[in-house]
Amino acid sequence: MDKLFNSHWFVKIISFFIALMLFTMVNIDNMASQPGVLPSISPASYTLEDVELSVYYDEENYAITDKTEHVQVNLKGPQSSLTLFQLTRPSYEVFVDVRERGEGVHTLSVQHRNFPSDLSVSIVPQYVRVELQEKQTVSFPVQVDIINSNEVEEGYTVGTPIVSPLNVDVTAARSLVAEVHEVKAYVDVAGADRAIEETTPVRLYDEDGNELTLSVDPQVVDVKVPITSPNRTVPGKVTRTGELPDGVSINEIRIEPEELTVYGPRDVIDRMNVVEVGTLDLSQLTESQTIEMEVPIPPGVERVTPETVSVSVSISTEEEQEFTDIPVEIIGGRDGEDITFNGDETRELAITARGAEQLLARLTETDIQAFVDVSDLSTGEHEIEVQINGPPNIRFDSAETTIPIEIRSRIE
């Protein structure tokens, strides 16, 4: 095809036929106007249906609330001109101009332009009504509707959406702005297991829920929907290392806040009873102080809140208090065995408690437990370490760190 259009002879032939057609059309009209050449020919007509009516108006201050959308254009004139018009379709226009008019209903004559000068133009209807109403701009808050909120990942919850900007401006004719009942943005959270951030278009609705098409600025808003993973609240715990300096005792170690929230898979957080918030080196404590600790995230956990805690350590001068006749318990014994303290059924120890004066003042014998664990021992005689338990922040020791025991198989 490109070779055909580039052919010199092809272009000449096409040009000849176009010239011949135009010559024939013009001369038919000339012959029709000369008596005796051809019989008299009546003017022809052509009708344009549903021609769009343009309205020129002050778009900055007014809005059109009612107008005639289309008109019919009737053309009359020489057949050659009508035929040429149909072939070339010039850029014609039918319009009304209300740029000098204010608010209200206006009846105007329809005007036209760019039709061939030898054609007569009539428009139906000749007069049309145009209603103008002053524009109004009103600010509306944006409501975020969450779609499929019950279809997030199991155990996750949907938080309160955050939208930016909070409001949008709607500009339209006063009566149309009055129809706006709410402005919404939609976010689908189906399958979500983390926060959603997206830019979404806003939609306008009337009181009956019908969507309105009006000018809105901005047309889109940014929405963030928090998606919270499963969580539980557990107490914080400080790990202690080292030994207190001589003569120093801990009154209290307090974590603020006392409880923290851990987030993560349900099977992980359900096994957690405490959160290790940090390590405290006792050997460095010489006075009461408050330490800020950044909470490490345990394995398998997504996050911990708060991210930091305050650890307050209250210390004082260490005091001593003696307790005599603390009974030694035997734990870990097996059925069919008799366990004695070198032949004695019971044994008591003298124990020294060291700590802050205020802690020792509340300490009683019932708060102290001395015991030996025989769960890993076989029958026979053993020298076993004595273990002592008691309230926190108090140190316990005894002159007797081990005691003899004997395990015998019971003879039935």
Read off the CATH number of the domain in which 245 is found.
2.170.120.40
Q: What pLDDT does residue 309 have?
A: 96
Plot region of 171 (φ>0 → left; ψ -120 to 50 → alpha; else → beta)? beta
Nearest partner of 365 among 396, 399, 404, judged by Cα: 396
Of the residues 75, 104, 133, the one at which a domain ends: 133
Model pLDDT, residue 194: 84
pLDDT value of position 36? 40
Q: Residue holding tokens 């135009």?
A: 22
- Measure Cα distances from 161 to 142, 183, 187, 324 in Å: 11, 15, 9, 65
Q: CATH code at 386? A: 2.170.120.30
Same domain? For 82 and 153 the reply is no
Looking at this protein, which amino acid is placed at residue 159? G
The 10s digit of each residue's pLDDT in 323-348 is: 988 999 999 888 888 889 877 888 89
Domain range for 109 is 34-133
User: Before 296, cis peptide (omega within 30)?
Assistant: no
Domain-terminating residue out of 204, 228, 252: 228
Q: Are residues 175 and 217 in the same domain?
A: yes
334, 302: one domain: no
Number of structural domains found in the chain: 5
Q: Compute mean pLDDT per 10 residues along the chain, 412 residues long, and list them.
A: 56 64 53 43 84 93 91 94 87 93 92 92 95 92 94 86 95 92 95 90 96 94 92 93 87 93 90 93 90 94 94 90 92 86 85 91 93 90 92 90 88 64
Pick the last residue of a domain from 174, 204, 228. Answer: 228
pLDDT in tens, 170-202: 999 988 999 999 999 999 999 888 889 999 999
Looking at residue 316, its pLDDT comes to 87
Query: Cis omega (within 30 of 0) on the bond before 125?
Result: yes
The predicted pLDDT at position 24 comes to 55
Q: Is the pTM of this model over 0.85?
A: no
**Number of alpha carbons in the 13 Å side-chain half-sphere of residue 27:** 7
Whether 386 and 349 have beta carbons less than 8 Å apart is answered as yes
73 and 95 in a single domain? The answer is: yes
pLDDT for res 42: 62
Q: Is 196 exposed, middle or buried (0-12, 13-18, 19+ CB in 10 A)?
A: middle
Per-residue confidence (pLDDT) for residue 365, from 0 to 100: 92
240 in the same domain as 285 = yes
d(CA 177, CA 198): 27
* Cα–Cα distance measured from residue 247 to residue 178, given in angstroms and rounded to the nearest whole number: 80
